């Protein structure tokens, strides 16, 4: 017996809605460190998509049409939050079918205030200023983020809830081991002063007790005035700064100007792991490379 058209259409819609409700979530992570943690928790159940690839800045990123397609497909989006991904506020506001997880609001994440550019010796930054969004550079924050990621994935894909819990526990063990190794590696360098290109490493410094003296710029897309350059060069010439770090996605010209004729060493730090292959192993590799870069640049000249 043939079904009436309205009945057949109703059944089709019911089947499609059931299939959509029971389909595996399409997961999107905004930046490589977040993607790494999500990929580690999802391992064996799927692979998240990554929004920002390569060496683009996390601050001034401009969405491409292919990015818009990724966002439109996603049913679960992991981001740091509006303090970092300002470019996503409007696109995400239009999504009605996706769950947005802002990891800076995850239980257990410890937030620090952003600092101004220049030298920090006078300690004049207000505690109630804007939030520093580079939360992933503290392994304890990464642990809290991993717990939130696993919980959100279990809600979106309950069939794999047990797998997500197992992967969560394995990832937390990795993060704990990474923190312990870095603590031992960096312990001899806690009183050594250095400059960073922009204030992206507050959480890393706070966790491992490092003594960064300042940042060349507040944000990479803001120009640096001659007065600040003169002040920073003065500190370097006075022997107060041992090393100045640049970031690979930005021109080294300004860093070269600062250290020219001073004897200060230069190194490279990058908060996103721009040159690293995305995946579950990226987070630990990123943190190890930060530790290695600091240790090499800050070691005594005669060693």
Pair (250, 156) in one structural domain: no
Residue 56 has a pLDDT of: 62
Domain contains 94: yes
Cα separation, 18 vs 224, in Å, equals 56
Cα separation, 43 vs 150, in Å, equals 11
3-state class (DSSP) for residue 92:
helix
Pair (194, 259) in one structural domain: yes
Quick check: 114 and 134 in contact, CB under 8 A? Answer: no
Pair (195, 145) in one structural domain: no
Pair (193, 291) in one structural domain: yes
The candidate with the shortest Cα–Cα distance to 249, out of 202, 200, 287, is: 200
Output the six-digit token pair for 255: 């860093």
Pair (56, 91) in one structural domain: yes
Pair (257, 271) in one structural domain: yes
State which residues form the domain around 78: 25-111+133-182
Residue 74 has a pLDDT of: 95
Pair (192, 280) in one structural domain: yes
For the chain, strand residue ranges (E) read 27-29, 49-50, 76-79, 99-102, 118-119, 193-198, 211-217, 243-246, 265-268
Domain contains 122: no
Residue with tokens 């389909």: 23
Residue 54 has a pLDDT of: 65
Domain contains 118: no
Residue 24 has a pLDDT of: 84
Other Cβ atoms less than 10 A from the Cβ of 243: the count is 23
Number of domains composing the chain:
2
Domain contains 7: no
Average pLDDT per 10 consecutive residues for the chain, totaling 303 residues: 47 40 83 97 97 68 84 95 87 86 97 92 63 96 98 98 98 98 97 93 97 87 85 94 90 89 93 92 97 92 47
Domain contains 64: yes
Quick check: 148 and 38 in contact, CB under 8 A? Answer: no
Output the six-digit token pair for 177: 């081991």
The candidate with the shortest Cα–Cα distance to 207, out of 146, 273, 140, is: 140
Q: What CATH number corresponds to the domain at position 254?
A: 3.40.50.1980
Domain contains 172: yes
Domain contains 14: no
Pair (159, 281) in one structural domain: no
DSSP bridge pairs for 246 = 268
Indicate the pairing of strand 211-217 with strand 118-119: antiparallel
Cα separation, 109 vs 144, in Å, equals 6
Other Cβ atoms less than 10 A from the Cβ of 140: the count is 17
Pair (79, 220) in one structural domain: no
Distances, alpha carbon 33 to alpha carbons 37, 146, 282, in Å:
7, 11, 7
Residue with tokens 């059931």: 18
Pair (168, 220) in one structural domain: no
Cα separation, 154 vs 26, in Å, equals 13
Output the six-digit token pair for 181: 């190794």
Domain contains 128: no
Helix (H) or strand (E) holding 15: helix 5-22
**Euclidean distance between the first and the last CA atom of the chain, given in angstroms as a whole number:** 88
For 194, residues 6+ apart whose C-beta sits below 8 A from its C-beta are: 211, 212, 213, 241, 242, 243, 244, 245, 294, 297, 298
Look up the pTM and report it: 0.88
């Amino acid at each position: 017996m043939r079904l009436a058209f309205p009945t057949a259409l109703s059944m089709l819609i019911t089947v499609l809605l059931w299939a959509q409700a029971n389909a595996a979530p399409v997961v999107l992570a905004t930046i490589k460190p977040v993607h790494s943690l999500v990929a580690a928790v999802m391992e064996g159940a799927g692979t998240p998509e990554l929004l920002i690839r390569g060496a683009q800045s996390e601050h001034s990123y401009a969405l491409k049409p292919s990015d818009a397609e990724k966002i439109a497909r996603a049913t679960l989006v992991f981001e740091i939050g509006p303090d970092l991904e300002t470019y996503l506020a409007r696109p995400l506001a239009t999504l009605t079918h996706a769950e947005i997880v802002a990891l800076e609001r995850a239980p257990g994440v410890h937030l620090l205030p952003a600092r101004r550019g220049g030298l920090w010796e006078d300690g004049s930054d207000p505690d109630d200023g804007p939030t520093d969004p580079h939360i992933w550079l503290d392994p304890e924050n990464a642990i809290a983020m991993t717990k939130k990621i696993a919980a959100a994935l279990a809600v979106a894909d309950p069939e794999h809830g047990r797998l997500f819990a197992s992967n969560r526990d394995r990832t937390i063990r990795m993060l704990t081991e990474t923190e312990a190794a870095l603590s031992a590696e960096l312990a001899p360098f806690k009183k050594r002063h250095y400059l960073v290109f922009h204030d992206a490493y507050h959480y890393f410094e706070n966790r491992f007790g490092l003594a960064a003296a300042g940042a060349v710029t507040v944000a990479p897309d803001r120009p640096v005035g001659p007065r600040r350059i003169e002040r920073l060069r003065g500190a370097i010439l006075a022997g107060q700064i041992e090393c100045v770090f640049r970031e690979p996605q930005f021109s080294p010209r300004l860093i070269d100007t600062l250290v020219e004729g001073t004897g200060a060493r230069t190194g490279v730090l990058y908060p996103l792991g721009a040159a690293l292959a995305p995946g579950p192993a990226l987070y630990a590799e990123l943190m190890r490379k930060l530790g290695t870069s600091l240790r090499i640049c800050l070691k005594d000249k005669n060693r």
